[in-house]
Amino acid sequence: MSPRRDPEGRRRAIVHAAVVEIAEVGIGQVTHRRIAARAGVPLGSTTYYFPTLDDLVSAALREATETARAQLEAWADELLASDDIAGTFVDLARGYLADREQALLEYELCLAATRTPQLRPVAQLWMDGLRGICARFTGGPERGFALAALVDGVLLEALVTGDELDAGGLRAGVEALVSRRTAAGRT
C-alpha cells in the first residue's frame, strides 16, 4: 500500500492519522498503537519517526493548526468580499462546525496548551489569526478582540451543548460589534 521508499509520505501519513485519532478520542486517549493502526504502518514506525508520543502529538496538533490557519485565510477572503458581514460569519461558523471532531480538536489543543508549554505557540497561532481577521471589521482593536472572543465563545458553546450553531446570537453579536462605517464604506 504505502510506497516502500517515501519517508516523507510515511511521516505525513502518521501525523495525519494522529490528527484524526486525536479528533476522535481526545488527546489523553491517543496511543502509538491506535495511530499506527489507523495509519496502516507498523508500530515501530511511529516511534521511529517520532521519538516520543509527545512529539507525535505535537506534530499532529501543529498540522491541525496549519489546517485551521488555511481555513482562517479563507474566512478573511470571504469576509472581505462580502457585503453581509454578519451573515457571512454565520455561514463560516456553520462550515467550521460541519466537521465537529476537527473543530473539537482545535479547542482541545487550546486547553492542552495551557499545561504543555510547547503547545503554546501552536494555540497562539489560531487565536492571533482569528483576532487579526476580526480586527479588520471593527472600529478598533478592542472591538476586534471582542469579536474574536464572541466567535470563539459561540463555537465553543455549540460544541459543548451539541446543539446547532446559535446563529441568532452570533449575528446579533457581530452586528453590534462590527463598525458601521467600515461596512458602509465598503459598499
Partner DNA sequence: AATGAATGAGGGTTCATTCAT
Partner DNA sequence: TATGAATGAACCCTCATTCAT
Between 13 and 134, CB nearer to a second copy: 134
With binding defined as CB under 8 A, does residue 145 bind a second copy?
A: yes
Hey, what long-range contacts does 150-157 have (CB within 8 A, 24 or more apart)? Answer: 150/174, 150/177, 151/89, 151/93, 152/127, 154/93, 155/93, 155/96, 155/97, 155/103, 155/107, 156/107
Q: Which residue's CB is nearer to a second copy, number 17 or number 170?
A: 170
User: Residue 81's CB: how many other CB atoms inside 10 A?
Assistant: 9
Residue 176: which H helix or E strand, with range?
helix 167-177
Residues in contact with DNA, shown as a per-residue x/- string from 23 to 62 under the rule CB under 7 A: -------xxxxx------xxxxxxxxx-xxxx--------
Cell of 28: 489523553
The reply to whether 117 sits near DNA by the rule CB under 7 A is no
Q: Determine, following the binding rule CB under 7 A, whether residue 15 of this chain makes contact with DNA.
A: no
On whether the CB atoms of residues 172 and 85 are closer than 8 A, the answer is no
Residue numbers of the site for a second copy (CB under 8 A)?
A: 25-29, 104, 107-108, 110-115, 120, 123-124, 127, 140-154, 156-157, 159-162, 166, 168-173, 176-177
Q: Using CB under 7 A as the criterion, which residues of the chain lie in contact with DNA when the complex forms?
A: 4-7, 10, 30-34, 41-49, 51-54
